Amino acid sequence: MNRPIALLGGTFDPIHDGHLRAAVEIREALDAQELRLIPCAIPPHRSQPGASPQQRVAMIEAAIAGSPQLQCDTRELGRSGPSYTVDTLRSFRAELGATRSIVLVLGADAFHGLPSWNRWRELPELAHIAVLTRPDSHALIDPRLEEMLAQRATSLPADLWASAGGRVLRLEIPPLPISSTLIRARVKQRRSIRYLVPDSVIELIDTQQLYRS
C-alpha cells in the first residue's frame, strides 16, 4: 500500500498560519505522501467567501510555495453547484484508483455536523477520516457518529496505510488560535496581520485590496 494522500478542504478566505501549521502537523502525523489543500467553490454550510476563487487560489499557492508536500487542488472550483465532499472524494477515487489510501481531514466541529452533509454515510466508503481533536474537547456527538466510531475507529495512524478507506482516526495536533474571520476583521479595521499569515499572502491582500469592506 502506498503512503496516504491527505485532503484538507475549506474556503481559505484567506489561508493563514493556522491552516499551514495544521497541514504540516497532519502530513507528518499520517506520514502522508502529500497533503492537498482544496478550496471550495460554494460551501454548503456557510456564507460565501469574500475573495474570488482565483484570488483564494493565488493566496494558497503563494503560501505553500517551497513546500512540495503541500499542494493546492482546484477540482471543486471547476464544478458547478455546491461543493459536496462526497463528489470530491469520488473524483479522487476515480483519479487515484480503488486501492490508494485517501484520508479526509475534518475539524471536530465539521465531524460533529457530518450527519447534515450530503450522502455523508458514503464518505468512509471512499476514504479514511481523520478528525482533528483538542485535549479539552468533550462534546456530545450524534448517536449515528457514535455508531460509526464503534465500527471504524482506530488510534493508530499506521492503520490508514493498510486499506484504501473505512477507518476513523482521532488526531490531536497543537492548535493555533487563528481564524480567517479574525484576519478579515483586522484587515477591515486597518490592523496588522503580520505573523498571522505569510508575508506573500499579505502582499496579495494589500495589492488587491481584499477584505477592505
Q: Could you tell me if 79 and 44 are in contact, meaning their C-beta atoms sit under 8 angstroms apart? A: no
Q: What confidence tier does 66 reach under pLDDT thresholds 50, 70, 90?
A: very high
Helix axes 17-30, 53-64, angle to 10 degrees: 60
152-183 confidence digits (pLDDT tens): 999 999 999 999 999 999 999 988 899 999 99
Number of other CB atoms surrounding residue 140 within 10 Å: 8
pLDDT at position 42:
80
Query: Which residues, 6+ apart, have CB-to-CB distance to 141 below 8 Å?
Result: 111, 112
Q: Which of 183, 204, 187 is nearest to 19 (CA)?
A: 183
Q: Residue 47 pLDDT more than 80?
A: no
pLDDT at position 43:
80
- What residue type is 30 in one-letter code? L
pLDDT at position 195:
97
| Domain total in the chain | 1
Q: Which of 16, 27, 17 is nearest to 8 (CA)?
A: 27
Residue 155, helix vs strand vs coil? coil
Query: Which residues, 6+ apart, have CB-to-CB distance to 109 below 8 Å?
Result: none
Q: Which of 123, 127, 122 is nearest to 99 (CA)?
A: 127
74-132 confidence digits (pLDDT tens): 999 998 888 899 999 999 999 999 999 999 999 999 999 999 999 999 999 999 999 99
pLDDT at position 71:
98
Is residue 96 in some structural domain? Answer: yes
Give how far Cα 40 sits from Cα of 16, 17, 129, 136, 191, Å. Answer: 16, 19, 18, 29, 27
Q: Residue 136 pLDDT more than 90?
A: no
pLDDT at position 51:
95
Grid coordinates representing 140 are 456530545
Is residue 191 in some structural domain? Answer: no
Q: What confidence tier does 213 reach under pLDDT thresholds 50, 70, 90?
A: confident
Percent of the chain with pLDDT over 90: 84
Domain with residue 84: its CATH number is 3.40.50.620
DSSP 75: G
Is residue 28 in some structural domain? Answer: yes
**C-alpha–C-alpha distance, residues 59 and 55, integer Å:** 6
Is residue 200 in some structural domain? Answer: no
Is residue 212 in some structural domain? Answer: no
pLDDT at position 141:
86
Percent of the chain with pLDDT over 70: 96
More confident residue, 44 or 159: 159
Is residue 207 in some structural domain? Answer: no
Is residue 58 in some structural domain? Answer: yes
- What spatial distance separates the first Cα and last Cα of the chain, rounded to whole Å? 49
pLDDT at position 139:
66
Is residue 184 in some structural domain? Answer: no
pLDDT at position 104:
98
The residue range of the domain holding 69 is 5-176
* Mean pLDDT, residues 182-191 taken together: 97
